């Protein structure tokens, strides 16, 4: 495979004529991903949904990889989001705790029929609770949803593809925010095309998801930096893509190639990713970062507390300590909590890796 992200514009069609209902509006051209024939891959589109003023919505859509006799190898992913999305993640369903396909209502996802679990009020429903997918391997993620660039077109490196088993359950999670730190000016919607490899890619893509679960950014101590390391197993690897994720107190997210031996932050020369854009963090898809045997990534989140526009009541309410210091702690809600999550994609796959 030799296609690169630079040809993205030719790979999808944007048209104001598309049937996107209330998404029509000044300054917005609805994105369109072309449906894929079965011979070319599989695809999903969430329904459109309203994101009311002040709302945060996080919903989970379950669907199955098409049936077939052999595993499917995918070497290109196109992921589209309406403006206002905070994230879109795709996971492989594994242990079902309190969230699974059977908990959902039937939903038409375009290319497949699926199941839908609404997140409900922020932080309350099972689609908000990360412990429900703690052992579900990551497939892909996107946080790209600007009006001018709503589609992430990600061609995997030459000879690399991600593997799916026929009938395997996947979960597409979308998070939209229409509040003070992030706005959804139209309606919420997401979609993914999984393009089949047709050139015999031999190396499998592995994923790495790492998170700091215990963070605290308070008014009285506004500058905080958290770091961690996460190793891959069994041999040398190459990191092909990465992005970081935090909320609006996040000032800078950095990732470094790490040798697996040192307890010091790697030198700047080893840094392969940095983003200061919390709402639309860069997704680096053209990486070619060598990681030695036993090594992995070192990631760092730098935070700076700032006064919430809506005041500290909601932030203080979810502080386990009830310190009254407007402390942002770990959590999924953009307005009142913080994250420090690293996503990396590497090959050849040894195993999917979670560090938390």
Partner 1 sequence: MFLIRCALATILATTALACSDDAPGACPVGDRGLPMELLAMTWDARAGEPVDLVDGGEVVLRRPIQGGKVIYVGVRARNVDGCGVQLTGALRDATSREVIALEQRPVRLVARADGWAVPATPLEQSLANVAACPNADAEVDLDGNRWELELRLEELQGGRRATLNLMVRPRCPADEAFECACECDSDFQIGGECPVDPGDEPDAGVDAGA
**Least distance from partner 1 to the Cβ atom of residue 14, Å:** 35
Residues in binding contact with partner 1, number by CB under 8 A: 42
Of 263, 268, 288, 317, which lies in the binding site for partner 1, with binding defined by CB under 8 A? 263
- Nearest to partner 1 of 129, 306 (CB atom): 129
Which stretch, 14-22, 146-154, 260-268, 308-316, contacts partner 1 (CB under 8 A)? 260-268
Of 40, 103, 135, 325, which lies in the binding site for partner 1, with binding defined by CB under 8 A? 135
User: What residues between 192 and 231 interact with partner 1 by CB under 8 A?
Assistant: 210-214, 216, 221, 224-229, 231
User: What residues between 35 and 94 interact with partner 1 by CB under 8 A?
Assistant: 92, 94
Of 16, 233, 236, 267, which lies in the binding site for partner 1, with binding defined by CB under 8 A? 233
Of 134, 146, 149, 180, which lies in the binding site for partner 1, with binding defined by CB under 8 A? 134
Which stretch, 61-69, 268-276, 278-286, 344-352, contacts partner 1 (CB under 8 A)? 344-352
User: What residues between 153 and 172 interact with partner 1 by CB under 8 A?
Assistant: none
What is the 3-class SS of the chain, one letter each residue? CCCCHHHHHHHCCCCCCCCCHHHCECCECCCCCCCCCCCCEEEEECCCECCCCCEEEEEEEEEECCCCCCCEEEEEEEEEECCCEEEEEEEECCCCCCCCHHHCEEEECCCCEEEEECCCCCCCCHHHCHHHHCCCCEEEEECCCECCECEEEEECCCCEEEEECCCCEEEEEEEEEECCCCCCCCCECEEEEEEECCCCCCEECEEEEEECCCCEEECCECEEEEEEEEECCCCCEEEEEEEEECCCCEEEEEEEEECCCCCCCCCHHHEEEEECCCCCCCCECCCCEEECCCCEEEEEEEEECCCCCCCCHHHHHCCCCCCCCCCEEECCCCCCCECCEEEEEEECCCCCEEEC
- Nearest to partner 1 of 227, 274 (CB atom): 227
Residues that bind partner 1 (CB under 8 A): 92, 94, 130-131, 134-137, 210-214, 216, 221, 224-229, 231-233, 260-263, 265, 294, 296, 298, 320-321, 330, 350-356
């Amino acid at each position: 495979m030799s296609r690169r992200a630079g040809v993205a514009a030719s790979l999808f069609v944007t048209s104001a004529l598309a049937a996107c209902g209330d998404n029509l509006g000044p300054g917005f051209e609805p994105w369109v991903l072309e449906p894929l024939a079965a011979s070319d891959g599989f695809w999903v589109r969430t329904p459109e949904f309203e994101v009311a003023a002040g709302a945060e919505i996080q919903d989970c859509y379950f669907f199955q990889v098409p049936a077939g006799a052999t595993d499917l190898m995918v070497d290109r992913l196109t992921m589209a989001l309406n403006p206002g999305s905070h994230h879109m993640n795709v996971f492989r369903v594994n242990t079902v705790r309190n969230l699974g396909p059977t908990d959902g209502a039937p939903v038409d996802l375009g290319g497949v029929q699926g199941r839908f679990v609404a997140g409900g009020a922020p932080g309350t429903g099972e689609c908000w609770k990360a412990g429900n997918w703690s052992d579900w391997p990551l497939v892909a993620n996107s946080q790209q949803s600007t009006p001018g660039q709503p589609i992430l077109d990600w061609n995997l490196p030459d000879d690399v593809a991600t593997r799916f088993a026929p009938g395997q359950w996947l979960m597409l999670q979308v998070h939209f925010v229409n509040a003070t730190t992030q706005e959804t000016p139209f309606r919420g919607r997401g979609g993914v095309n999984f393009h089949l490899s047709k050139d015999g890619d031999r190396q499998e893509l592995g994923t790495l998801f790492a998170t700091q679960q215990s963070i605290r950014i308070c008014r009285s101590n506004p500058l905080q930096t958290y770091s961690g390391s996460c190793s891959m197993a069994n041999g040398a690897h190459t990191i092909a893509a990465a992005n970081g994720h935090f909320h609006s107190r996040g000032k800078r997210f950095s990732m470094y190639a790490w040798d697996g031996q040192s307890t010091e932050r790697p030198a700047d020369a080893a840094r392969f990713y940095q983003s200061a854009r919390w709402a639309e963090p860069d997704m680096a898809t053209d990486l070619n970062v060598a990681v030695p045997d036993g090594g992995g990534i070192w990631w760092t989140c730098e935070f700076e507390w700032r006064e919430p526009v809506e005041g500290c009541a909601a932030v203080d309410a979810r502080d386990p300590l009830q310190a009254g210091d407007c402390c942002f702690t770990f959590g999924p809600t953009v307005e009142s909590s913080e994250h420090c999550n690293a996503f990396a994609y590497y090959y050849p796959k040894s195993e999917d890796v979670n560090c938390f």
